[in-house]
Structure 1
Amino acid sequence: MVVGDVTTGTDVLIIGAGPAGYVAAIRAGQLDLDVTLVEKEAYGGTCLNHGCIPSKAMITATDIAHDARHAEEMGIHADPAIDLAGMVGWKDDVVDQLTSGVEKLCKANQVNLMEGTATFVDEHTARISHGGEGQGSETIEFEHAIIATGSRPISIPDFSFENPPVLNSRQALSLDSVPDSLAVVGAGYIGMELASVFAKLGTDVTVIEMLESTLPGYDDDLKRPVKQRANDLGIDFHFEHTASEWYEPGDGIRVVAEPVDGAAANGGSEAAIEEERLELDVEKVLVAVGREPVSDTLEIENVGLETDDRGFIETDSRARTSVDHIFAVGDVAGEPMLAHKGSAEGQVAAEVIASEPAALDHQAMPAVVFTDPEIATVGMTETDAEDAGFEPLVGQFPFRASGRALTTGESDGFVKIVADAEEEYVLGAAIVGPEASELIAELGLAIELGATLEDVASTIHAHPTLSESVMEAAENALGQAIHTLNR
């Protein structure tokens, strides 16, 4: 028997319980709003269940195995055995702990949790369809709505994720055995992170990228140590190629990659194009060409909303859409698609709905790539500063001059600070090297507080630590660095 449709009301309807949605729900609950949070799959969304957290767990685990295997210069000789099923089980335990924590926090803040898929009926009504036979649906009337439906992996023609040899990032993180060989399509942050994970597990990894280098959007000096480390791991790269098809010639699969604009580049020579055509025999292929917003399931036209040509819902600095009482946060609201950006937007949306003075400021929004070594950036690059009318003053400190970096065995990379030459305010920073993801927070705070190079340089940092490199980079910009030559 189908459960009959019932109607309930709420101050704030939030669709999607990822880092943007659940943060919005908790904050709205703290502000004494009646909140209903709808999630169709798992609390915590892609980030906690299938993306940020599980990938970082696997990165940590494979780093431990790889470091133990290559620590001879420290006098350590080991050859650890890897139980991938056990590793994935540990990863899943971490995920379960976090997602159950999210659910408990929501309930503790009086958030009404509802499982199902939401679609808009009109500007103040949504229909929630519950999964499973006989579960039916219900109607919710809302004063405000926050769309937090996130994003999903982009597929490419002829590489359906329904075919077992073809993987998206979620499927790759759940394998129970290590593939002997793997083709990775895409050298962005997801492709590069997972390429390193599998290379450290002993997989023969080949990366296919349509552009001419890895990690588009990052400066060459930041990418260079990552590419060199990938080469050291035995990862092969084929740039300016696109994966066009795959088939099963026998054992495993064969992935075909064509050169980008091959005909034009070779004057139309079919023989030359054929020479550049690649055929890779691998066990599996991971497609990691990016993510796209999930906005096509909501029937947003029923509330008078439209998406841009990429499927994003446009918002202002208060996370508000073109319909005043409807907000969008997280990946569905556009680039950068970062969990912490979504969480910040979720807090802003909840506070605006509660008539609090709130707006999002992107100037100190960090971005991190958990490659080996890590890359982290915040604020302006040198080029950005010039474009904004500043005269940039740059300071840099190499990790090879850091005592702490040397004691960890990880001394590739550097800290770079960009400041305004006239007033010496910190405008931006970039780090490639050990613990870049942690070190960038100090520089984000410096930007947020309007700190100067002198503020950073005169702050006494504990020794020996990696954070001393931040201090020395500021000193280098001022011509005062002790442990590296000043510019």
Structure 2
Amino acid sequence: MQTLNTTLLIIGGGPGGYVTAIRAGQLGISTILVEGQALGGTCLNIGCIPSKALIHVAEQFHQTQHHSQHSALGISVSAPTLDITKSVEWKDGIVDRLTTGVAALLKKHKVQVINGWAKVIDGKTVEVGDTRIQCEHLVLATGSTSVNLPILPILPIGGPIISSTEALAPKSVPKRLVVVGGGYIGLELGIAYRKLGAEVSVVEAQDRILPAYDAELTQPVHDALKQLGVKLYLKHSVLGFDGTLQVRDPNGETLNLETDQVLVAVGRKPNTQGWNLEALNLDMNGSAIKIDSRCQTSMRNVYAIGDLSGEPMLAHRAMAQGEMVAELISGKSREFNPTAIAAVCFTDPELVVVGQTPDEAKAAGLDCIVSSFPFAANGRAMTLESKSGFVRVVARRDNHVIVGWQAVGVGVSELSTAFAQSLEMGARLEDIGGTIHAHPTLGEAVQEAALRALGHALHL
């Protein structure tokens, strides 16, 4: 068995792992990165990026169909057709360019990449096949996996029960699709498949969709689902599948839902299995590895970042943690203590939460002003054929410091940066209200929400 020695060893080449490696390389740290599948991890290969590509395809096809029927824009086209094989090829091309780019960046910064499955021996030793790697610092960045339902087992490729992985590489669009799970993954893909032409139903055990978000924020998404013709089975639980999906309604009655495919999207869990993590006997936080404010585990010089360390399971959190850990290993003084991390849901309309919601602020004992500005009063939203949704600000009543932003509407994912930046900089309502926002943009609703909280919105 050959033995390699390195200062830093990273297990997992997803957003957290590869950013750790790149930053470590920039800082001159000898680094080895081990990845069992493709660089970029779930996010680049079977998650964030391919799902947004499929959502874009679905939206373009949906709009073209709209123009072939009754467009108010004066656009007229003949009935469009969809070649889903070409769509998937286009999506795969984007993924290939990004993963190739990650590989090039790692090479540029002299990171040694080993393709294979890591087996942890101890806090300074990992085996990959017939190679043993000795390190001074170990970063665990193995991400998360889909939660499976035992009563709905994911069968071999081509089977009727699928996960998001299979949903992102369809051979054809099913006539009927039932999505089990009304969270962001299920709804993003469910809406995309509806726009691609499938009859879509969503089964959710809670009493509303997107239960992690507040009801006011999710109502425009609920309304859009109804308008698209997506059937919602709320407060329904799944019993099993035998060609039809059996679900129990709120009254205890059993319904049989006819479908061609069932997409199971009930969440994700830290990926702790299959690489002998138990050899380290680390302290756990539920199913996640317990970490401190520097992403250190209970073992010295062993770090855990990203989804493996629990919620919020967001690629941008993993990236920020990875950058910090690399700097800590280089001797810099750092701590992971962001004021807020934006959470974005790419449904139609999109949804963004940054910082505290009104309910969270109240629970924290804060007396806050809560103010919203509707996109129905925003000129740019109208030119995008969108009037639903709003921007909402939550600010302390005593000093007007902003503690949270929420938005739902067309393109609001792009407002998340401004929201997060204002919270990190400790902005007050007067700071946002006094900043000149370009016209006509969706961002004007951000300024108007702040002005309304101060009692003088201009366009409402």
| TM class, shorter-length | over 0.9
- Per-residue CA shift, 1:412-469, capped at 9, x if unaligned? 1000011111111111100000111101211111110111111111111111111111
Q: Aligned partners of 1:244, 1:139: CA distance in 2, in Å?
A: 47
> Secondary structure at 2:344's aligned position in 1?
strand
In the TM superposition, 1:465-480 aligns within 5 A as 465-480=441-456
What is the Cα deviation at residue 390 of structure 1? 2.2
Aligned match of 2:432: 456
Question: Is residue 69 from structure 1 mapped to residue 68 from structure 2 by the alignment?
Answer: no
Q: Aligned partners of 1:357, 1:387: CA distance in 2, in Å?
A: 33
Question: Is contact 1:25-1:35 (8 Å) kept?
Answer: yes
Change (3 A) 1:364 1:308: closer
What is the Cα deviation at residue 239 of structure 1? 1.5
- Per-residue CA shift, 1:134-165, capped at 9, x if unaligned? xxx21000100000001111110132212411
Question: Is residue 141 from structure 1 mapped to residue 155 from structure 2 by the alignment?
Answer: no
Aligned match of 1:81: 81
Aligned match of 2:92: 92
Aligned match of 1:368: 344
Question: Is residue 155 from structure 1 mapped to residue 148 from structure 2 by the alignment?
Answer: yes
Question: Is contact 1:307-1:313 (8 Å) kept?
Answer: yes
Question: Is contact 2:283-2:297 (8 Å) kept?
Answer: no
What is the Cα deviation at residue 302 of structure 1? 1.9
Q: TM-score, normalised by structure 1?
A: 0.91
> Secondary structure at 1:223's aligned position in 2?
helix
What is the Cα deviation at residue 123 of structure 1? 2.1
Q: Aligned partners of 2:226, 2:266: CA distance in 1, in Å?
A: 21
**Unmatched segments (≥5 aa) in structure 2:** none
| Pairing partner for 2:310 from 327, 334, 338 | 334
In the TM superposition, 1:146-295 aligns within 5 A as 146-163=139-156, 164-247=159-242, 253-259=243-249, 273=252, 276-295=253-272
- Per-residue CA shift, 1:64-115, capped at 9, x if unaligned? 1112322411122333211111111100000000000000001101111000
Aligned match of 2:371: 395
> Secondary structure at 1:340's aligned position in 2?
helix
> Secondary structure at 2:187's aligned position in 1?
helix
Question: Is residue 105 from structure 1 mapped to residue 105 from structure 2 by the alignment?
Answer: yes
Q: Aligned partners of 2:407, 2:332: CA distance in 1, in Å?
A: 35
Which residue identity is paired with 1:297? G
Q: Aligned partners of 1:421, 1:158: CA distance in 2, in Å?
A: 50
Shifted more, 5-14 versus 383-392: the winner is 383-392
Aligned match of 1:24: 20
Which residue identity is paired with 1:13? L
| Pairing partner for 2:37 from 37, 41, 45 | 41
Q: Aligned partners of 1:96, 1:126: CA distance in 2, in Å?
A: 29
Which residue identity is paired with 1:326? V
Q: Aligned partners of 1:388, 1:419: CA distance in 2, in Å?
A: 13
Q: Aligned partners of 1:234, 1:376: CA distance in 2, in Å?
A: 24
Aligned match of 1:269: none
Q: Aligned partners of 2:410, 2:125: CA distance in 1, in Å?
A: 49
Q: Aligned partners of 2:263, 2:280: CA distance in 1, in Å?
A: 37
Q: Aligned partners of 1:22, 1:184: CA distance in 2, in Å?
A: 32
Q: Aligned partners of 1:169, 1:28: CA distance in 2, in Å?
A: 32
Shifted more, 351-360 versus 465-474: the winner is 351-360
Aligned match of 1:343: 319
What is the Cα deviation at residue 33 of structure 1? 0.5
Question: Is contact 2:123-2:138 (8 Å) kept?
Answer: no
Q: Aligned partners of 2:161, 2:315: CA distance in 1, in Å?
A: 26
- Per-residue CA shift, 1:257-281, capped at 9, x if unaligned? 124xx6xxx6xxxxxx3xx211011
What is the Cα deviation at residue 355 of structure 1? 1.6
Q: Aligned partners of 1:166, 1:376: CA distance in 2, in Å?
A: 30
Which residue identity is paired with 2:21? A
Q: Aligned partners of 1:324, 1:222: CA distance in 2, in Å?
A: 43
Aligned match of 1:482: 458
Q: Aligned partners of 2:289, 2:153: CA distance in 1, in Å?
A: 26
Aligned match of 1:133: none
Q: Aligned partners of 1:427, 1:8: CA distance in 2, in Å?
A: 48
Q: Aligned partners of 2:370, 2:257: CA distance in 1, in Å?
A: 44
Question: Number of residues paired by the alignment?
Answer: 454
| Pairing partner for 1:319 from 295, 308, 328 | 295
**Unmatched segments (≥5 aa) in structure 1:** 130-136, 248-252, 267-272
> Secondary structure at 1:145's aligned position in 2?
strand
Which residue identity is paired with 1:22? Y
- Per-residue CA shift, 1:35-62, capped at 9, x if unaligned? 0000000000000000000000011111
What is the Cα deviation at residue 306 of structure 1? 4.1
Q: Aligned partners of 1:178, 1:415: CA distance in 2, in Å?
A: 35
What is the Cα deviation at residue 307 of structure 1? 3.2
Aligned match of 1:132: none
Q: Aligned partners of 2:216, 2:361: CA distance in 1, in Å?
A: 17
Q: Percent identity?
A: 43
- Per-residue CA shift, 1:312-365, capped at 9, x if unaligned? 101111111111200001111100111101111111111111121111124221
Q: Aligned partners of 1:363, 1:77: CA distance in 2, in Å?
A: 48
What is the Cα deviation at residue 367 of structure 1? 0.2
Q: Aligned partners of 2:81, 2:73: CA distance in 1, in Å?
A: 20
- Per-residue CA shift, 1:369-406, capped at 9, x if unaligned? 00000000101111222233321012211000000000
Question: Is contact 1:69-1:77 (8 Å) kept?
Answer: no
Q: Aligned partners of 1:464, 1:483: CA distance in 2, in Å?
A: 13
